[in-house]
Chains A and B, each alone.
Chain A
Amino acid sequence: MQQIYLNRIEKAFTVSVPQKGNRLRGIFVREKRKVQALENITFSVEAGELVGYIGPNGAGKSTTVKVMSGILNPDGGECRILGRTPWREREAYVGHIGVVFGQRSQLWWDVPVEDSFQFLRDVYSVPHGKYLDRVSQLSKALELEPLRNIPVRQLSLGQRMRCEIAAALLHSPDILFLDEPTIGLDAVSKLSLRRFLKEENQKTGVTILLTTHDMDDIEALCQRVMTIGHGKLLYDGSLEALKEKYAPLHRIRARLSQEWGSEKGLPALAGLSNLSIEGDTVTAMFNPRDFPAPKAAALLAEAFSLRDLTIEEQDIDQMIAAMYKEMSL
Chain B
Amino acid sequence: MSAEIRMTASPPSKTAPWKAYFSIFRIELLQKVQYRIAALAGAATSIFWGIVEITVYTVFYRYADNNAAGIAAGMTLQQLASYIWLGQFMFLIQPHVPGEFTQKITSGDVGLELCRPMRLYRHWFARLAAINLSSLPVRGAMVLLAGIILPGGYRMSLPASPAGFAATLISAVGSLLLCTSYGMFVTSVRMNVSWGNGPMFILLLVPGVLSGTYLPLQLWPDFMQKFLLFQPFAGYADLPIRLYIGSLAPSDAVWAVGLQILWSGFFIFLGNLIMNRQLKNIVVQGG
B8 touches A83 (CB 8 A): yes
In the docked arrangement, what's the CA distance between A5 and B10, Å?
A: 13
A2-B5, A73-B280, A115-B30 known; A91-B15 Cβ under 8 A: yes
CB of B74 closer than 8 Å to a CB of A:
no
**What is the interface of chain B mostly: helix, strand, loop, or mixed?**
loop
B112 touches A94 (CB 8 A): no
> B residues within 8 A CB of A174?
11
* Residue from A3, A73, A105, A123 within 8 A of B116 (CB atoms): A123
The number of chain A residues with a CB under 8 A from chain B is 49
CB of A43 closer than 8 Å to a CB of B:
no
Please report which residues of chain B, range 1-47, place their CB below 8 angstroms from some CB of chain A when the two chains form the complex: 1-2, 4-6, 8-11, 13-17, 19-20, 22-24, 27, 30-31, 34
Measured between C-beta atoms, what is the minimum distance from B149 to chain A in Å? Answer: 32
> B residues within 8 A CB of A111?
27, 30-31
Binds B, one of A96-104, A136-144, A255-263, A294-302: A96-104
A82-B11, A83-B11 known; A94-B31 Cβ under 8 A: no
> A residues within 8 A CB of B6?
83
Measured between C-beta atoms, what is the minimum distance from B117 to chain A in Å? Answer: 4
Measured between C-beta atoms, what is the minimum distance from B189 to chain A in Å? Answer: 21
B20 touches A122 (CB 8 A): yes
CB of A17 closer than 8 Å to a CB of B:
no
In the docked arrangement, what's the CA distance between A94 and B27, Å?
A: 22
Q: Mark A64-79, 1 if CB is under 8 A from B, else 0.
A: 0010011111000010
In the docked arrangement, what's the CA distance between A75 and B119, Å?
A: 23
A2-B5, A71-B284, A119-B23 known; A125-B17 Cβ under 8 A: yes
Measured between C-beta atoms, what is the minimum distance from A149 to chain B in Å? Answer: 14
B10 touches A82 (CB 8 A): yes
> A residues within 8 A CB of B282?
71-72
B111 touches A66 (CB 8 A): yes
> A residues within 8 A CB of B15?
91-92, 95
> B residues within 8 A CB of A71?
111, 114-115, 282, 284
* Residue from B9, B119, B286 within 8 A of A91 (CB atoms): B119
Please report which residues of chain B, range 86-144, place their CB below 8 angstroms from some CB of chain A when the two chains form the complex: 109, 111-112, 114-119
A122 touches B16 (CB 8 A): yes
> A residues within 8 A CB of B8?
1-3, 80, 82-83
Residue of A nearest to B9 (CB): A83
The number of chain B residues with a CB under 8 A from chain A is 38
A73-B280, A95-B117 known; A106-B13 Cβ under 8 A: no
CB of B198 closer than 8 Å to a CB of A:
no
Residue of B nearest to A84 (CB): B10
CB of A108 closer than 8 Å to a CB of B:
yes
In the docked arrangement, what's the CA distance between A126 and B31, Å?
A: 23
CB of B283 closer than 8 Å to a CB of A:
yes
CB of B287 closer than 8 Å to a CB of A:
yes
CB of A124 closer than 8 Å to a CB of B:
yes
Residue of B nearest to A3 (CB): B8
> A residues within 8 A CB of B109?
104
A92 touches B2 (CB 8 A): no
In the docked arrangement, what's the CA distance between A93 and B10, Å?
A: 9
Measured between C-beta atoms, what is the minimum distance from A234 to chain B in Å? Answer: 19
A92 touches B13 (CB 8 A): yes
Measured between C-beta atoms, what is the minimum distance from A88 to chain B in Å? Answer: 11
> B residues within 8 A CB of A227?
none
> A residues within 8 A CB of B22?
122
CB of A118 closer than 8 Å to a CB of B:
yes
* Residue from A92, A103, A105 within 8 A of B14 (CB atoms): A92
> A residues within 8 A CB of B111?
66, 71-72, 101
A91-B117, A122-B20, A123-B118 known; A99-B14 Cβ under 8 A: no
In the docked arrangement, what's the CA distance between A66 and B9, Å?
A: 23
A82-B11, A119-B24 known; A124-B283 Cβ under 8 A: no
CB of A33 closer than 8 Å to a CB of B:
no
Residue of B nearest to A72 (CB): B284
A7-B1, A84-B10 known; A106-B284 Cβ under 8 A: no
Measured between C-beta atoms, what is the minimum distance from B24 to chain A in Å? Answer: 7
Residue of B nearest to A59 (CB): B287
> A residues within 8 A CB of B9?
83
Measured between C-beta atoms, what is the minimum distance from B30 to chain A in Å? Answer: 6
In the docked arrangement, what's the CA distance between A66 and B114, Å?
A: 10
* Residue from A83, A97, A105, A125 within 8 A of B16 (CB atoms): A125
Q: Mark B247-287, 1 if CB is under 8 A from A, else 0.
A: 00000000000000000000000000000000010111011
A123 touches B34 (CB 8 A): no
* Residue from A62, A69, A78, A122 within 8 A of B115 (CB atoms): A69
Residue of A nearest to B109 (CB): A104
Q: Which 4 pairs of residues, A with B, have the shortest CB-CB distance?
A: A95-B14, A83-B10, A92-B13, A122-B23
**Given A95-B14, A111-B30: 14 more A-B contacts, CB < 8 Å:** A7-B1, A66-B111, A71-B111, A71-B282, A80-B5, A80-B8, A82-B10, A83-B9, A94-B114, A106-B115, A108-B31, A119-B23, A122-B19, A122-B20
Binding site for B on A (CB under 8 A): 1-3, 5, 7, 13, 57-58, 62, 66, 69-73, 78, 80, 82-84, 89-97, 99, 101, 103-106, 108-111, 115-116, 118-119, 122-125, 171, 174
Binding site for A on B (CB under 8 A): 1-2, 4-6, 8-11, 13-17, 19-20, 22-24, 27, 30-31, 34, 109, 111-112, 114-119, 280, 282-284, 286-287
8 A-B residue contacts at CB 8 Å? A73-B280, A80-B5, A82-B10, A97-B115, A106-B112, A110-B34, A116-B27, A118-B27
